[in-house]
Chains A and B, each alone.
Chain A
Amino acid sequence: MTASLSLKARCVRWCGTAAVALTLSAGAGSIAAQAADDEAPIRIAFVSGPLYDSFFPPLYQGANDAADLLGVDLNYIPIDEHDIEASSARTMQVAIAQAPDAIVVGSFISSVVDPYIVKAVEAGIPVYVNQSGQATWEKVGAFGFVGQIGPDAGVVAAQHLSKAGAKNVLCVINVPGNPYLQAICQGLNEEITKLGGTSQNLELPTADSTDQAKVSRNIGAFLQSHKDIDSIFTLNAAVATAASAAVEAAQLTGKIHIGTLEISKVALEQVRNGQIEFLINEQPYLDGFYGVLFAYHYVKFGLAPVGMVHTGPSVVDKSNIEKIATVFEKYPNVVGSQ
């Protein structure tokens, strides 16, 4: 009895403190915003990927940087990738329930997200689609799209690999069942076929997705049994590093070309020393920054870029590595995750 009473007492005190702290910080925030601009700040809900996925920290950074510059009250709502369907729906429900001035959303599963875009627009909340959902954004009433069109990354990768002499490409899918990643490999397949080559996919088991050593061994084993592979395209930088380790272990360095989506410190170093041919940069920082900026302009002035704004695929290779590497060092979370 005493135990539960004191527990309750502690909770009341703690909850109280938290409440006071929050009210204070919220108050301070709004005062600062009002000092910068006499109107109430524009409220934007940004629904996108989780920060535990190394792709998203730059996007998050870009969104926050834009919000700071513009005095926007930003609420970033991350989707849980492990429960992507349900979580995509819930996060949109949350965004709409907050009745913000605008919603920016990464529509990764558009069959789930689209109905909510319609609902938001009906409720008078403008929606800007970000990064994914390029096929349907206009139909469901969003006012714009900024991002990279998935298959385009595959196409650009195919062109680069082909230029390096690739005939037989392995496309490594690190999240089995992810339609976005499957679409990129599909894009690669179509383009390399046009250019006179072939490609095949390797789906890594879910359980291995974060175990770089295991991924490396998996790729090594695949190379052992498929001697005709002359290049590898991976969809995240850690997998590319694992692939280059596998290539090295098989003593095929120089014989197998590697390209990847995403930028990391190690991957940049590997481009510099030639282990990786090129990195495809979707420039997620711009996805986040422009997402907030365009929503802000639209809410405030009713202005928006016409049609789609492409933030990728841009390519990092030996020709522009130094500039990118410098920025990477100087501004954390702008080019890629540290």
Chain B
Amino acid sequence: MTDTEISAEEADAGPGPSQPRLARRLLMRPEAGGVISAIVVFAFFAILAGSNGFLSPLGVAGWLDTAAELGIIAIPIGMLMIAGEFDLSVGSVVGATSIIIAMVSGYYEMSPWLGIAIAFAFGAAVGLINGIIVVWTKLPSFIVTLATMMMVLGGMLGVSIALTGSTSISAAATGSAAVLFAAEWRELHVSIIYWIVLIVIATYVMQRTPFGNWAYATGGSAQTARLAGVPVARVKIILFVCTSLGAVLTSTLQTMTFQNGNVTLGAQYVFTGIAASVIGGVLLTGGYGSPLGTVSGALTYGIVSLGVFYLGWNADLTEFFIGALLLLAVLANHRLRLMAMGRE
């Protein structure tokens, strides 16, 4: 048995000793599928519906705003999924905190900031509880957060009816809170700024910090990570809290903008948040993906969900398009991942 024999065989298995070409290297990044799908759907709608308003400032603002609001929620969801856990309670946190903000600012006519502060505290508490239950009981987070989702939704419905007699309350967006969370510039909503800041922070954390390394390891195999010395429980709890806080931020933006709190607000984010992550290349079983991918997924969703309207086709096909796209993206990501693993 000699060294040369082994290296000859292993050279075909891996990318080999020579540096892989740039294109190939880019294709092997986890966000490759997501970025490609965002570009493809953008080109598709720009060509077919560009002259029909899709590319007008208002049109662009529409799908960018949608992508931003979804992205703010989806980025932490994607990070949590990378660490191997799900959070189904995000949608109910959006609804519950929108009611909190509306109740404080609208119904009780106090400062919106007080409502926003309570909302963030509430969100952090839900995330903390999710994380602690999952870590302690070792139950699947799918079940745990399904339970907390129902509890948060039902509980807030009850509180809201008991206190105000309604489940849809006008919120008062006044003063600095309105500026910070409801400002618009030529239809471009301020949420786009939060989104971009979040992209930068999340990418930095996941790619550049030890915490990011721990999150990938935790999702890759919690047992291996634990044996290596990663504080797996802490990583998961922190990410559960971040996920809930992302939901509260989107809720604050929407409640201040639409000046209306509604228990059912944001219910769709359970699905669209996970869809954006998966389109963006996050592996459902954890350990692989990137915030940039999730961002591309959110952008893809924003473009498709609004672009369909500009085509003038039967708009109720929107869900069909997104479903088909999800399937395509998952298949493509699967192939790309196999390539990255050198199996293709």
Contacts and interface: CB of A to CB of B under 8 A. Distances in A.
B132 interface: no
A98 B55 CA distance: 10
A266 interface: no
A252 interface: no
A312 to B, nearest CB: 23
Given A3-B335, A22-B48, A178 B310 contact: no
Given A76-B315, A176-B167, A86 B59 contact: no
Interface stretch (B118-126, B197-205, B223-231, B259-267): B259-267
B258 A86 contact: yes
A4 B336 contact: yes
A15 interface: yes
Given A90-B66, A182-B166, A85 B260 contact: yes
Contacts of B315: 76-78
Given A4-B27, A86-B258, A97 B264 contact: no
A111 B182 CA distance: 14
- Chain B contact-residue range equals 35 or more
B56 interface: yes
A99 interface: yes
Given A1-B24, A112-B260, A176-B157, A19 B310 contact: no
Nearest to A81: B264
Contact of B267 (A19, A75, A83): A83
Interface string A160-183: 000000000000000111110010
A94 B260 contact: no
Contacts of A176: 157, 167, 263-264
B62 interface: yes
B310 A206 contact: no
- Chain A contact-residue range equals 35 or more
B268 A83 contact: yes
B187 A93 contact: yes
Contacts of A175: 264
A203 B162 CA distance: 13
Contact of A205 (B40, B154, B166, B267): B154
Contact of B258 (A4, A77, A111, A206): A111
A274 interface: no
B254 interface: yes
A51 B318 CA distance: 12
Nearest to A86: B254
Interface string A72-89: 000111101011111001
Contact of A1 (B69, B312, B339): B339
A335 interface: no
B168 interface: yes
A90 B312 contact: no
Interface in A31-72: 50-52
A179 B62 contact: no
B266 A93 contact: no
Interface string B246-271: 00000000100111101111111000
23 contacts: A1-B344, A3-B344, A11-B40, A15-B44, A19-B48, A22-B311, A75-B312, A83-B266, A85-B254, A86-B66, A86-B258, A89-B258, A90-B62, A93-B59, A93-B62, A97-B56, A97-B59, A99-B56, A112-B258, A112-B260, A177-B262, A178-B168, A206-B267
